[in-house]
Amino acid sequence: MKRYNELQEADNIKNNRFSDCMFVSPPKSVTCENNKPVLVYE
């Protein structure tokens, strides 16, 4: 597990990525406003 975490950290640094471990729920629907998609979460 330690080696996996080290490799993951190196990959994240190399590719300028990070994670806050926040889970984002999928939108309930998608609408269109001004010809652009708008994600609806409520």
So where are the chain's domains? 2-40
Provide mean pLDDT across the span 25-39: 95
Q: Give residue 21's pLDDT.
A: 80
Q: What's the rounded Cα separation, in Å, for the pair 32 and 10?
A: 40
Residue 5: how many other CB atoms lie within 10 Å: 9
Q: What is the mean pLDDT of residues 25-33?
A: 95
Neighbouring C-alpha atoms within 13 Å toward the C-beta of 36: 2
Mean pLDDT of 32-41: 95
pTM of the model: 0.43
